[in-house]
Amino acid sequence: MSAEIKFSSEELARYSRHIILPDFNIEGQKKLKKGKVLVVGTGGLGAPLLLYLAAAGVGTIGMVDFDVVDDSNLQRQVLFTRDDIGQPKVLAAKKRLEALNPYIKFIAHQTSLTSDNAMDIIKDYDVIADGTDNFPTRYLVNDACVLLGKVNVYASIYRFEGQATVFNYTDKLGITGPNYRDLFPTPPPPGLVPSCAEGGVLGVLPGILGSIQASEVIKVISGVGETLNGRLFLFDAATFETRTLKIKRRKDNPLNGENPTQKGLIDYQQFCGFEKPSDQSEKFPVKTINVKQLHNLISQKANIQIVDVREAYEYEIANIHGELMPKSEVTAHVQKIAKDKQVIVHCRSGKRSADVIELLQEKYGFENLYNLEGGILAWAKEIDHSMATY
């Protein structure tokens, strides 16, 4: 099947350590060159994944990301340097990878992966490697892979902990293994599992998990070894505890269980609970204020209260002298929140503070709370450029 794949003498020299590798050899290398892999997310996991897949000689590598390179990425996203800050990630990555391996093709998709474009982007690839950072996109990638019959090489990380597996893999006997919905039928409610931006992550952890993903992608394409199909690998860098658990398909999987009910992609924001039912948001709308308006109020010495619902360690990095009441403890501090004047509630980006306001309005009847749009990040960007961001 890969008879038409040819290598130049430069390529043979480059890939010689694969070609002399027993069981892998020139046939494995030909399969890699014929392979088409899409890496979703060019961040912490995407960086080692892309570097190793490009170095290994995977013939076509696509990458999807809407974001630009930021200072705070460089702690772990080893694809990028300071010169790339402000550049679109997929373009900076493409430039770096083309310098690493000129014998393969790179395709940059500078966009978010959405229900509207996912099928169209994913259909042209053989294997998808999911290195995204949120539940809606995790379910989107999974569902598109199952609907299109693509292998989904999965890893995710949180603080010191990582998970990896291979989803929707069809073995040599034609038996397809479990997918994400077999492992986790429903997502956690928003806020229970913070993102790395909120919860932090050990910088080297995505390096370890992303390298495992690269190894699994190479095994899937080359057919060498046994993949993590049907097994969930867990790694805790803090304790160096590793576990490999068995996972199986479920009869009630809505995509490919006994009675499939889902034939296409859905609204994943809604599925993951990020959009409240309309009756609730109509009943308790969250009022907002922007950073310029807040700056004016402070300049005028207006009688307001500022409540900061971030954690103490975030407060240390940067603050606007708000009263610190971390989100998880806010109900214990409810007496300290004024009811008789304008109270501005803020967090890092405006998400946690909106959740807090909804809770306080619903449970305690507050009507004087305003969410600071864009949080302290917006303050640093528009009002105080010397403020540290994270």
192 binds other proteins (CB under 8 A): yes
We find the least distance from the C-beta atom of residue 333 to other proteins, in angstroms, to be: 17
Which residues are CB-contacts of 372 (< 8 A; sequence separation ≥ 6)?
A: 288, 289, 290, 291, 294, 344, 345, 346, 350, 353, 378, 379
- Decide if 92 contacts 79 (C-beta within 8 A): yes
We find the least distance from the C-beta atom of residue 242 to other proteins, in angstroms, to be: 12
Closest CA to 204 of 162, 167, 251: 162
Which residues are CB-contacts of 115 (< 8 A; sequence separation ≥ 6)?
A: 140, 265, 266, 267, 268
Catalytic residue among 347, 369, 372, 376: 347
Annotation marks residue 347 as catalytic? yes
52 binds other proteins (CB under 8 A): no
Q: Hey, what are 270's tokens?
A: 């809604």
d(CA 147, CA 101): 32
163 binds other proteins (CB under 8 A): yes
Q: How many residues does the chain have?
A: 390
Nearer to other proteins, 28 or 44 (CB): 44
Nearer to other proteins, 125 or 135 (CB): 135
Annotation marks residue 145 as catalytic? no
Residue from 188, 203, 223, 225 in contact with other proteins (CB under 8 A): 188
We find the least distance from the C-beta atom of residue 384 to other proteins, in angstroms, to be: 26
246 binds other proteins (CB under 8 A): yes
9 binds other proteins (CB under 8 A): no
Residue from 55, 91, 247, 324 in contact with other proteins (CB under 8 A): 247
d(CA 156, CA 201): 11
Closest CA to 364 of 339, 345, 344: 339
Catalytic residue among 64, 93, 145, 196: 196
In the region spanning residues 270 to 309, those forming contacts with other proteins, defined by CB under 8 A, are: none
Residue from 34, 159, 276, 333 in contact with other proteins (CB under 8 A): 159
Amino acid identity, residue 39?
V
Which residues are CB-contacts of 239 (< 8 A; sequence separation ≥ 6)?
A: none
161 binds other proteins (CB under 8 A): yes
Q: Which residue has the tokens 């990425």?
A: 73
176 binds other proteins (CB under 8 A): no
241 binds other proteins (CB under 8 A): yes
In the region spanning residues 105 to 144, those forming contacts with other proteins, defined by CB under 8 A, are: 130-135, 138
Nearer to other proteins, 104 or 183 (CB): 183
Nearer to other proteins, 197 or 298 (CB): 197
Task: Sort residue 130 into left (φ over 0), alpha (ψ -120 to 50) or beta.
Answer: beta
Closest CA to 327 of 315, 342, 340, 341: 315
Which residues are catalytically annotated? Answer: 196, 347
- What residue ranges bind other proteins (CB under 8 A)? 41, 43-46, 67, 73, 77, 130-135, 138, 155-161, 163, 183-188, 192-196, 199, 201, 206, 232, 234, 236, 238-239, 241, 243-248, 250, 328
